[in-house]
């Protein structure tokens, strides 16, 4: 959803709404119960991902039912915390080890996306099939080798914009494709490729970020993608989660709009 010189902040609403659709405003459960559920889900999700990866890593097959189910549980818990900041402040300190950092990053990213999408009109999402994770990892890696842009940042943008290509709507600003480029910006960074092709779009995103200061400075580069501090914060936190957690990319790939 980027433009060459500026971005309409509401243009990211499709991707943001895709990520914030779960977790309503129901009464919050006791903090210890939520913490226990998060820890149980974390164990089950890691085991399910290990099984999925055993057939080839990164997997070329769709996420199996147990990965999808456990990832959805985590997504719902993060949605609950995002809708109840007071509960989050009590739950996160109860978590131990790396899980505390993971949940804190996911919670903070969700809060930023909730604020970014506040007041946006909900739009019915058109859904398609994600490319295999093995293909996406190869595309991110190629972009990193060619342009020096971290694969984790490209994956985080892909997540926020279209849930790794799951959401196929154009944005309200007319941005298109898995990385949400406006046609005018595509003319600059697309190198004659197909705006809807994930390989071409990921490389174009890397070129845009490189032209705007990354990898030395990701903040200004992400602002060139969307001039919103909330957008920059959300993408940065997801990128940090993907880099810090060897399971991060796998479960985020399985999240549904």
Let me know: does 239 contact 155? Beta carbons within 8 Å. Answer: yes
| Strand partners for 167 | 127
Cis preceding linkage at 58, omega within 30: yes
Q: pLDDT at position 24, please?
A: 43
Q: pLDDT at position 3, please?
A: 45
**pTM, full prediction:** 0.90
Let me know: does 74 contact 38? Beta carbons within 8 Å. Answer: yes
Q: What is the pLDDT along the chain (257 residues), one digit of tens a residue?
A: 554 433 333 334 444 444 544 444 456 799 999 999 999 999 999 999 999 999 999 999 999 999 999 999 999 999 999 999 999 999 999 999 999 999 999 999 999 999 999 877 777 899 999 999 999 999 999 999 999 999 999 999 999 999 999 999 998 889 999 999 999 999 999 999 999 999 999 999 999 999 999 999 999 999 999 999 999 999 999 999 999 999 999 999 999 99
Cβ neighbour number for residue 2 with a 10 Å cutoff: 31
Residue 241: burial class (beta carbons within 10 Å; 0-12, 13-18, 19+): buried
Q: pLDDT at position 1, please?
A: 58
Let me know: does 18 contact 125? Beta carbons within 8 Å. Answer: yes
Q: How far apart are CA 135 and CA 194, in angstroms?
A: 16
Q: pLDDT at position 8, please?
A: 33
Q: pLDDT at position 2, please?
A: 55
Q: 41 φ, ψ to 5°?
A: -65, -40
* DSSP SS3 for 117: helix
The tokens for 24 are 């309503």
b/e map of 218-230 (b: 16 or more CB within 10 Å)? beebbbbbbbbeb
8-state DSSP, 156: H
Let me know: does 132 contact 71? Beta carbons within 8 Å. Answer: no
Q: pLDDT at position 122, please?
A: 74
Q: pLDDT at position 229, please?
A: 98
Q: pLDDT at position 171, please?
A: 87
Q: 112 φ, ψ to 5°?
A: -65, -40
């Amino acid at each position: 959803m980027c433009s060459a010189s500026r971005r309409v902040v509401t243009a990211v609403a499709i991707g943001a709404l895709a990520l914030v659709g779960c977790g309503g405003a129901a009464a919050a459960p006791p903090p210890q119960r939520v913490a226990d559920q998060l820890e149980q889900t974390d164990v089950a999700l890691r085991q399910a991902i290990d099984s999925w990866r055993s057939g080839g890593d990164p997997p070329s097959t769709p996420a199996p039912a147990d990965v999808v189910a456990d990832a959805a549980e985590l997504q719902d818990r993060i949605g609950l915390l995002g809708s109840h900041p007071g509960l989050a402040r009590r739950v996160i300190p109860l978590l131990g080890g790396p899980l505390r950092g993971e949940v804190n990053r996911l919670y903070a990213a969700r809060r930023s996306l909730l604020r970014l999408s506040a007041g946006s009109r909900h739009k019915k999402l058109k859904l398609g099939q994600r490319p295999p994770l093995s293909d996406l990892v190869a595309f991110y890696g190629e972009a990193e080798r060619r342009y020096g842009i971290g694969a984790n940042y490209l994956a985080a943008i892909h997540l926020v914009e279209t849930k790794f290509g799951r959401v196929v709507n154009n944005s309200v600003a007319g941005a298109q494709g898995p990385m949400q480029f406006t046609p005018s910006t595509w003319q600059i960074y697309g190198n004659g490729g197909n705006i809807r092709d994930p390989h071409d779009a990921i490389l174009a995103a890397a070129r845009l970020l490189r032209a705007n200061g990354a990898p030395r400075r990701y903040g200004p580069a992400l602002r060139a993608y969307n001039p919103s501090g909330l957008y920059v914060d959300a993408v940065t936190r997801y990128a940090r989660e993907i880099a810090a957690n060897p399971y991060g990319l796998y479960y985020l790939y399985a999240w549904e709009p």
